[in-house]
Structure 1
Amino acid sequence: MAPIAEPDLVSRPNDTTVEASKKSAALLADRLYVQRSDKPFASGAISRVSLPAGALFARITGASIVPKQRYTTVQINRTQHIELNSDLVYCNHSCRPSVVFDMAKMEVRVVDDRPLREGEPVTFFYPSTEWEMDQPFQCNCGADNCKGWIDGAKNMSREQLQGYWLNEHIVELLKERDGA
């Protein structure tokens, strides 16, 4: 199996979560802020910058591999998940996302079809990284193409996933599932 990331992008066993979180927070402070809510799962990341389509938004640094998937983790390959240990964890799902989480490159990029504007929510399409969801949910993103129930790529048809950027591990798992 290929390495999951460059050595400096994922916490080494002797790194502490607190140190990793501080490092990542400093790097992200100029890119996003968290709009907090008292409602469960309603806080979200908001962009502090305007960037063109396809531009690098942030590198994923300070993340740590976890033994078990949770609702806050992001799948990085067929079998592993990471905790982001940064405010990137507040990037919510949208069926019309503003960014992609490229787990092979450990980076977050603006979607290819439109720019990201300052003040816009920083969102990604959860099935682009997740084969199965720890906590499936009813999507309320309001997009014209809203998929409704979000339960990972495994439980979505090819038609539902069409037009979305997908991580390679999701593409490979879809090929296996569909026998293609």
Structure 2
Amino acid sequence: MAPSADPIPAVPALREEFPPPTHPDRLHVTRSSKAFGSGAYSLIDLPAGALFAKITTATPGKKAYTSVQTGVDTHIELNSDLVFCNHSCAPTLVFDMARMEVRVVDDRPLKKGDALTFFYPSTEWDMDQSFQCTCGANECRGWIAGAKDMTSAVLDEYWLNPHIAGLLNERK
């Protein structure tokens, strides 16, 4: 008797599953297989200083490359598509952790298609992972390690969260 030839079951293609978008009316996320290559882009036009989004899905976290510092010793995980907002030395957004909101920078409007970025040292005193900035802005600051490692003169050019301003005052 010949052995039965059971067919080998098909293996489904591996597919990374993503949760549904958290701000589908505000931003589009582009994902990349390249490390730190993903980003968020605006789906709307807003005037300078306008509210972009409230931070409503955050949970307490520890200092990590994905967290945002909210106070001298506190961090949160955003748990939303806002985590895809990258750093820029010429940011389009402000992450105001005292108000738990994201606003358009005060000096220019946000246009549909703009990359959604913020200045990481505006929230981070001493970053979990420093990096060489490649934002391409004329005012690019190069090595980004947090506000602790930047001069007051440079930081005076940016909107800063109260906890960062307080730590700067202590440093003086």
Describe the superposition over 1:61-88 as per-residue Cα deviations: whole angstroms up to 9, x where unpaired.
110001x210000000111000000000
d(CA) in 2 for partners of 1:130, 1:123: 14
Match of 2:114, SS? coil
Matching residue of 1:105:
99
Counterpart of 1:59, as a letter, is K
Tell me the residue number matched to 1:64. 59
Once residues 55 and 87 of structure 2 are traced to their aligned partners in structure 1, the CA distance between those partners, rounded to angstroms, is: 17
Q: Could you tell me how far 1:35 is from its partner in structure 2?
A: 1.1
Higher helix share: 1
Question: Aligned to 1:80, which of 74, 79, 83?
Answer: 74
Aligned to 2:47: 52
* Deviations 1:103-160 (CA, angstroms, capped at 9, x unpaired): 0000000000000000000000000000010000000000000000000001110112
Give the count of matched residue pairs. Answer: 154
CA offset at residue 162 of structure 1?
2.0
Tell me the distance in 2 between the aligned counterparts of 1:95 and 1:30: 26
Code of the aligned partner of 1:131: W
The normalised TM-score by structure 1 is 0.83
Give the structure-2-normalised TM-score: 0.87
Percent identity of equivalent pairs: 63
In structure 1, distance between residues paired with 2:109 and 2:55? 20
4+ residue segments displaced more than 3 Å = none
What value does the CA root-mean-square deviation take over the aligned residues?
A: 1.1
Where structure 2 has 5 or more consecutive residues not aligned to the other structure, the ranges are 1-18
Hey, what does 1:164 align to over in structure 2?
Answer: 158
CA–CA distance in structure 2, aligned partners of residues 109 and 168 of structure 1: 15
Structure 1: state its 5+ residue gaps: 1-20
**Aligned amino acid, residue 32 of structure 1:** L
Q: Distance in 1 between matches of 2:137 and 2:38?
A: 18
Whichever of the two has the greater Rg, that structure is: 2
- Following superposition, the deviation at residue 163 of structure 1 comes to 1.4
